[in-house]
Structure 1
Amino acid sequence: MPEGHTIHRLAARHRELFGGGRVAVSSPQGRFAAGAALVDGREFAGAEAYGKHLLHRYDGGLWVHVHLGLYGKVSDGALPAPAPVGQVRMRMAGDAHWLDLRGPTACEVFDQQQVGELIARLGADPLRGDSENPREQVLRSARPVFALLLDQSIVAGCGLIYANEVLFRAGVAPTTPGREVAPERWDAMWTDLRELMREGVVKGWIDTVHTAHTPEAMRRAPRVDRHGGEVYVYRRPGQPCHVCGTAVARGELAARNLFWCPSCQRPDRPSPPAARRARTSR
């Protein structure tokens, strides 16, 4: 499932392609036909991202809410648009560009009240300037901090890669209850998460390793993975930790895949080398 940085990139892209112009909206597949008819021909007033939710704003107070889920994909290009191929849920066409949406979990028309209700259900988005650090929610909770990072009502937009990686970079065991995380440690993690996700928006992929641990610096082969980017623990079970050499562990927590270094993220290790390097080498 795309993480928040991808949705923010899409929102920026759609503002660039369609902002301020009138767009034709249709549903070649047919499943969004009624919704498409409500916004077809209206001015595209903007696009926003909140967590993993994409919101297209139209004149007249209407919005199209999109959640890509596991299988949703967006493609675009210069006009003329090609003939629809496959299950195109929504097609947009402006003066010079087209956009196709396939396989989303949600594609629906909202009014302003429904948008407000959606946002009210979501937690703080690390990529939005109007979101505050959810410190109190985390530090009062008995739930594992890994689960709290993935709870979209607490941290909107953080997915598996960022959750696993930011915990490693902080030297925090993923099973640590939120209420046992020191306030300054959480604040540092929140700041690190925001910076990593901002980099993801710029690059279009997730990189979490420090300069000292890049393939060039360590003289190792680059990571080969469809998600791209260099990481410390995510999807690296059994491979040596880039910091200490311990085999990366894999498990399941909150029904999600968990990866961690048993040495750098020991529960009884308040300030491991990984955490010190995270604060100084990036």
Structure 2
Amino acid sequence: MPEGHSIHRLARRHDRLLVGHRVAASSPQGRFAEGAALLDGRVLAQTHARGKHLFHRYVDPAAWLQDRDAPAGPDDRWLHVHLGLYGKWADGRGEPEPPRGALRLRLVSDAHWFDLRGPTACELLTPGERQAILDRLGPDPLDPACDPAPATRRIGRSRAPIGTLLMDQSVVAGIGNVYRAEVLLRSRVSPFLPGRDLDATTWSHLWEDLKVLMEAGVRAGRIVTTEPDHRERPAGRPRRVDATYVYGRTGLPCRICDTPVEAAELGARRVFWCPTCQPDP
């Protein structure tokens, strides 16, 4: 499943290529035909990502021409997309090819096309329904307006392992399995440590590290968490084999201490850690 950096990267790309343009919307597959008809002919005014959720705000063309900086109103239409395990956006310039296969949504502007396939969610929301989704999500490290205090409180009173809490989107939004494993290694925290036993200084460091790592992921379009000195090839663009410390490296030596990396099931997902750098609590 794409992690939060991928969704923020998509939001920024859609903002750059599509905001301010009138779109022709269709659902060749037919599963979103009614929603696409309501978007057709409108102008994309705003994109927004929170965690793994992508939102588009569409407005009437006349309203856009009258005031492009107008705040969201009750007549705006919000498109909500959650890619899930199999969803994918594709885009290109000019006229798109004839649709093939299970194409849920196609958006076409005067210069670009955007195709959405296989999402878990593709729906139109009222402002209240969108706010309900935002309200049940935890703070997003990639959203400068988000306050980490709610996550701090949830973690500080929980007996659940920190490795489970970090994957709970109601605690922190946008973290997936890779960032979970990597940020815990970089902070030398066992994934099995109860949340309430994580000291405030370490949590603060972990949160700031998440912001740095995930913003780098947005810019690069890939996850790289290793420092150059810990890679097999320190110079140049990091290779995939050098990109992570412990994720996907079961049995291989830890890049920091050479202890074999271990893996286990935690929160219905496989977690990776170094038993020396991240001692068992």
**1:173 counterpart = 2:190:** yes
Paired residue type of 1:93: V
The residue matched to 2:233 in structure 1 has which SS?
helix
CA–CA distance in structure 2, aligned partners of residues 242 and 13 of structure 1 = 34
Paired residue type of 1:11: A
Gap runs ≥5 in structure 1: 269-282
Query: In 2 relative to 1, CA 240–121 (structure 1 residues): closer, same or farther, beyond 3 Å?
Result: same
What per-residue deviation string (whole Å, max 9, x for no partner) do you get for residues 2-40 of structure 1? 000000000011111111111011000000001111111
Paired residue type of 1:236: R
Paired residue type of 2:218: V
CA–CA distance in structure 2, aligned partners of residues 222 and 126 of structure 1 = 25
**1:199 counterpart = 2:229:** no
**Structure 2 equivalent of residue 231 of structure 1:** 244
CA–CA distance in structure 1, aligned partners of residues 234 and 40 of structure 2 = 53
Count residues with an aligned counterpart: 262
Paired residue type of 1:81: P
CA–CA distance in structure 1, aligned partners of residues 58 and 240 of structure 2 = 42
Query: Where does 1:112-127 land on structure 2 (aligned, <5 Å)?
Result: 112-127=127-142
CA–CA distance in structure 2, aligned partners of residues 72 and 41 of structure 1 = 25
Alpha carbons 2:231, 2:255 under 8 Å: kept:
no
What per-residue deviation string (whole Å, max 9, x for no partner) do you get for residues 192-243 of structure 1? 011100100111000101121122239xx9444xxxx600000100111111
- After TM superposition, the score normalised by the length of structure 2 is 0.91
**Structure 1 equivalent of residue 56 of structure 2:** 56
**1:247 counterpart = 2:260:** yes
CA–CA distance in structure 2, aligned partners of residues 241 and 29 of structure 1 = 47
- After TM superposition, the score normalised by the length of structure 1 is 0.90
Alpha carbons 1:248, 1:259 under 8 Å: kept:
yes
**Structure 1 equivalent of residue 84 of structure 2:** 69
The residue matched to 2:55 in structure 1 has which SS?
strand
Query: Where does 1:261-276 land on structure 2 (aligned, <5 Å)?
Result: 261-267=274-280
Equivalent pairs: percent with the same residue?
A: 50
Paired residue type of 1:234: Y
1:55 deviation in Å?
Answer: 0.3
Query: In 2 relative to 1, CA 26–74 (structure 1 residues): closer, same or farther, beyond 3 Å?
Result: same
Paired residue type of 2:146: S
CA–CA distance in structure 2, aligned partners of residues 16 and 187 of structure 1 = 33
CA–CA distance in structure 2, aligned partners of residues 115 and 49 of structure 1 = 12
The residue matched to 1:215 in structure 2 has which SS?
coil
1:267 deviation in Å?
Answer: 3.2
Gap runs ≥5 in structure 2: 60-74
**Structure 2 equivalent of residue 85 of structure 1:** 100
CA–CA distance in structure 1, aligned partners of residues 195 and 254 of structure 2 = 25
**Structure 2 equivalent of residue 158 of structure 1:** 175
RMSD over equivalenced CA pairs, Å? 1.3
CA–CA distance in structure 2, aligned partners of residues 223 and 17 of structure 1 = 29
1:46 deviation in Å?
Answer: 1.4
CA–CA distance in structure 1, aligned partners of residues 173 and 84 of structure 2 = 14
**Structure 1 equivalent of residue 32 of structure 2:** 32
CA–CA distance in structure 2, aligned partners of residues 17 and 158 of structure 1 = 26
CA–CA distance in structure 1, aligned partners of residues 253 and 240 of structure 2 = 13
CA–CA distance in structure 2, aligned partners of residues 131 and 138 of structure 1 = 16
CA–CA distance in structure 1, aligned partners of residues 245 and 232 of structure 2 = 12
CA–CA distance in structure 1, aligned partners of residues 106 and 167 of structure 2 = 31
The residue matched to 1:162 in structure 2 has which SS?
helix
Name segments (4+ residues, structure 1) moved above 3 Å. 221-224
The residue matched to 1:217 in structure 2 has which SS?
coil
1:164 deviation in Å?
Answer: 0.5
Paired residue type of 1:98: W
1:50 deviation in Å?
Answer: 0.5
